[in-house]
Amino acid sequence: MNILYLSAVPFKIDKNPSIYTDLIQELDSFGDQITVASIDSALKPFQVKKVRHKNIDLIYIGSFQLYNVNIFRKGLSILSLPFFMRRAIKKLDISKFDVILYETPPITWAGIVKEIKKKNKIKSFLMLKDIFPQNAVDIGLMKENSFIFKYFKRKEKLLYKVSDYIGCMSNGNIDYVLKNNPEFSKEKVCYFPNTKKDTGNGNIDFEKKNLQFVYGGNMGLPQGVLNISTAISYFKDDKEIEFIFVGKGTEWNKIDEYFREQKNVKVLESLPREEYEKLLSSCDAGFILLDSRFTIPNYPSRTLAYLEKGIPIIAATDKNTDIKDLIQDNNIGLWSCSDDINSLIENIKIMKKDKEKRKRFSKNARELFLREFQVEKSVDLLHKYINNNQGDI
């Protein structure tokens, strides 16, 4: 297939590997032809830069800053993305592409996708990673039925409508989308999990006395890290546990400030992927955190790295995500609702004390990753969907 991929983040394979760079590289290895058009706020607005990485054509388009900014600036940046992207798209021979691939966030790709489909009989595949604007309503960033909510809701509906396929991360995602969009057929909404390249198992030492529990990923309001901070503070005098928070986001400074006096907590800025995976390899449990107010089934991608390294999971999330089912059905960790601090404290105690349970969780996590979440699965699924061969999935 000849694939055009639209990305709202700088697509830098060597400097910033991610689940998306893994997917594109695997598609390239499979024999597909790939062109990536990605937003890069390091460039001046509307500036275009072209690079070829092995067999992949990369086009970078300058824009306003989209990430790690306040909600107002983020909203303006999201609205402006189509204007910047169109500049690059106009210079491409659209007729050669078979598939256009894109993800949320953002939800403003609909106009561009529609324009491209008018010029060519191309199939469009949305990788649904973010259900916006409802997620913003859930955590109080936006009022339901406000003007801005209604505006973005229309954008969301248009994006879903123009997409031939909506790839969802989990069965919970599929059920939610179909329930809230009954006009769509079941064939349109399909399973397309987060996956990544396998870089090897972790090196967990189950005999060591001093343990490291890690949280890696975005530190914004959706994750609700500050909401569970009292649970971490409960262990402030425990010299046998070290808590490590690593990532970035709008709440990073507040988290760093909150834990500044707690000696067994480290708050680190984002690490390059190789360094982060090296850190994970020595950790004994990984946190998955989500705000308890969510009504949508979020499915954090950081789960992948824990599973890959065989790291037991301690989850504190809302009740609507099916991360709970993943953890409990596969016996890979412990779950509690993120507004139940006492339950989270108890789960941390269990994870610390029960070495045999951690061993079982670790083994099961690694096996689950190998079975369900390697990047080759995404490539296989994408080809089957595009070739209308869903019966074999």
What does the DSSP assignment read for 23-80?
A: HHHHHHHHT-EEEEEEEETTSPTT-EEEEEETTEEEEEEE----SSS-HHHHHHHHHH
| Cα three-residue angle 163-63-81, rounded to 5 degrees | 25
Name the helix (H) or strand (E) containing 47: none
Are both 44 and 178 inside the same structural domain? Answer: yes
Are both 257 and 317 inside the same structural domain? Answer: yes
DSSP reduced 3-state for 138: helix
Domain contains 319: yes
Domain contains 17: yes
Are both 79 and 220 inside the same structural domain? Answer: no
Are both 189 and 51 inside the same structural domain? Answer: yes
DSSP reduced 3-state for 124: strand
Domain contains 63: yes
Q: Which DSSP state fits 44?
A: P
42's tokens: 């390091």
Are both 57 and 142 inside the same structural domain? Answer: yes
Are both 76 and 28 inside the same structural domain? Answer: yes
Which CATH number covers residue 54? Answer: 3.40.50.2000
pLDDT, position 166 = 96
Are both 382 and 353 inside the same structural domain? Answer: no
> Starting at the edge strand that comes first in sequence, how are the strands of the sheet with 123-128 ordered?
48-53, 56-62, 33-40, 2-7, 99-104, 123-128, 165-168, 189-191
Judge whether 242 and 259 are in contact, CB under 8 Å.
no
pLDDT tens for the 393 residues of the chain, in order: 999 999 888 888 877 788 999 999 999 999 999 999 988 878 887 788 888 988 999 998 887 766 666 667 666 767 777 788 887 788 788 888 999 999 998 888 898 999 889 888 899 999 999 899 899 898 888 899 899 899 889 999 999 999 999 999 999 999 999 999 999 989 999 999 999 999 888 888 888 889 999 999 888 888 888 888 999 999 999 999 999 999 988 899 999 999 999 999 999 988 888 888 889 888 999 999 999 899 999 888 889 999 999 999 999 999 999 999 999 999 999 999 999 999 999 999 999 999 999 999 999 999 999 999 999 999 999 999 998 754 433
DSSP reduced 3-state for 15: coil
Are both 134 and 157 inside the same structural domain? Answer: yes
Domain contains 69: yes
> Has this prediction a pTM greater than 0.85?
yes
DSSP reduced 3-state for 281: helix
Domain contains 97: yes
Are both 359 and 382 inside the same structural domain? Answer: no
pLDDT, position 107 = 84
Are both 272 and 368 inside the same structural domain? Answer: yes
Helix, strand and coil in the chain, % to nearest 5: 40, 20, 35
pLDDT, position 328 = 95
Domain that holds residue 58: 2-197+374-392
Judge whether 246 and 215 are in contact, CB under 8 Å.
yes
Domain contains 205: no
Domain contains 187: yes
Domain contains 202: no
**Residue 10, preceding bond cis, omega within 30 degrees?**
no
Judge whether 98 and 382 are in contact, CB under 8 Å.
no
Are both 328 and 382 inside the same structural domain? Answer: no
Are both 236 and 184 inside the same structural domain? Answer: no
Domain total in the chain: 2
